């Protein structure tokens, strides 16, 4: 619509022009009000705005010590940003990984640790980062309720166990004198036993279902890949019984001789395979 000269249009047109001007004058006021509200909300929400990095860290540590891991995480995130480039920021990142882990968020804990290891390869806390990464995978694989179900780690997926082992191995190789290395070595022993037991667990599964060839293959895999672990005793016994079920007398007798030589007091042989099946590994 176009107005020419001093022509003011009809009464309806004049009313429309007044309404348009009124609405346009309200827009800047509303915009300014929304900006002020946003700024006010930000100041109210961020109670740490005037805190020093040391105070933020102290508050985060208090939350961790009292079990408030979910509350500690955002504090540590703020600290990483405000203390960027300082040792305190590195410590905040490690503590955040620990808080994620204790809060049950293993994926976020591992992502935080991987980032720390990538960004700070020369950090004096690198041994702890590797140790914590191993522990996160170790406990993730173990499962929260295994103590109730009596589920052996060997019966679970082994991906986390292998990744845990690799973290511990890197730790003890690069930092043999680290305060965390003795515990890492003990956990590595447990993981190796678990991986061997996993092969035997699968072999037992196949044997119980009459898949004797598959049982033999998994038992032989355990015997070939591992040394001096408890699971090998049962692996040999599964070979004896599988060969017997297939009518392979010569191979059965050979496997039995090897078993009698290495495990002369074996309960598998004396009780016919009725050895009590309970986890041997309850250390942690």
Cα–Cα distance, 64 to 140 (Å, whole number):
20
Domain-embedded: residue 80: yes
Domain count, the chain: 1
Residue with tokens 């406990």: 139
Domain-embedded: residue 55: yes
Among candidate residues 62, 66, 214, the one with its CA nearest the CA of residue 76 = 62
Domain-embedded: residue 63: yes
Domain-embedded: residue 263: no
Tally Cβ neighbours within 10 Å of residue 94.
19
Strand, coil or helix: 27: helix
Cα–Cα distance, 59 to 61 (Å, whole number):
5
Residue-level pLDDT at 272: 60
Q: Give the DSSP per-residue string, 220-240.
A: HHHHHH--S-THHHHHHHHHH
232 touches 195 (CB < 8 A): no
207 touches 170 (CB < 8 A): no
Residue-level pLDDT at 28: 53
Tell me which residue range forms the domain holding 58: 50-105
CB-based contacts of 8, cutoff 8 Å, min separation 6: 14
Domain-embedded: residue 88: yes
Domain-embedded: residue 64: yes
Domain-embedded: residue 65: yes
pLDDT in tens, 127-138: 999 999 999 999
The one-digit pLDDT tens for each residue of the chain (284 residues) are: 444 444 455 555 555 565 555 555 544 544 555 555 445 444 435 788 889 999 999 999 999 999 999 999 999 999 999 999 999 999 999 999 999 999 999 999 999 999 999 999 999 999 999 999 999 999 865 543 343 334 554 455 678 899 999 999 999 999 999 999 999 999 999 999 989 999 999 999 999 999 999 999 999 999 999 999 999 999 999 999 999 999 999 999 999 999 999 999 999 987 765 554 444 334 44
Cα–Cα distance, 93 to 78 (Å, whole number):
10
Among candidate residues 172, 87, 93, 189, the one with its CA nearest the CA of residue 131 = 172
Domain-embedded: residue 66: yes
80, two tokens: 């990483």
Residue with tokens 């009698």: 260
213, two tokens: 């060839």
Cα–Cα distance, 234 to 223 (Å, whole number):
10
């Amino acid at each position: 619509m176009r107005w020419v000269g001093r022509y003011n249009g009809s009464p309806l047109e004049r009313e429309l022009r007044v309404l348009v001007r009124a609405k346009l004058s309200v827009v800047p006021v509303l915009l300014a009000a929304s900006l002020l509200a946003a700024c006010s909300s930000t100041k109210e929400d961020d109670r740490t705005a005037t805190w020093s990095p040391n105070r933020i860290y102290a508050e985060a540590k208090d939350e961790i010590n009292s079990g408030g891991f979910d509350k500690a995480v955002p504090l540590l995130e703020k600290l990483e940003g405000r203390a960027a480039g300082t040792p305190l920021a590195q410590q905040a990142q490690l503590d955040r990984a620990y808080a994620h882990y204790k809060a049950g968020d293993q994926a976020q804990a591992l992502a935080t640790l991987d980032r720390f290891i990538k960004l700070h390869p020369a950090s004096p806390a690198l041994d702890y980062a590797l140790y914590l990464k191993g522990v996160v995978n170790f406990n993730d694989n173990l499962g929260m309720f295994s103590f109730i179900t009596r589920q052996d780690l060997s019966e679970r997926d082994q991906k986390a166990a292998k990744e845990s082992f690799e973290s511990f191995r890197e730790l003890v190789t690069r930092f043999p004198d680290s305060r965390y290395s003795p515990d890492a070595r003990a956990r590595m022993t447990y993981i190796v036993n678990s991986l061997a037991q996993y092969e035997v667990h699968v072999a037992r599964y196949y044997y119980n279902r009459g898949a004797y060839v598959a049982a033999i293959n998994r038992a032989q895999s355990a015997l070939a890949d591992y040394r001096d672990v408890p699971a090998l005793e049962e692996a040999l016994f599964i070979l004896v019984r599988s060969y017997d079920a297939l009518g392979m007398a010569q191979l059965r007798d050979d496997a039995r001789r090897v078993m009698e030589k290495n495990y002369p007091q074996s309960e598998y042989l004396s009780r016919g395979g009725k050895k009590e099946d309970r986890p041997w590994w309850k250390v942690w």
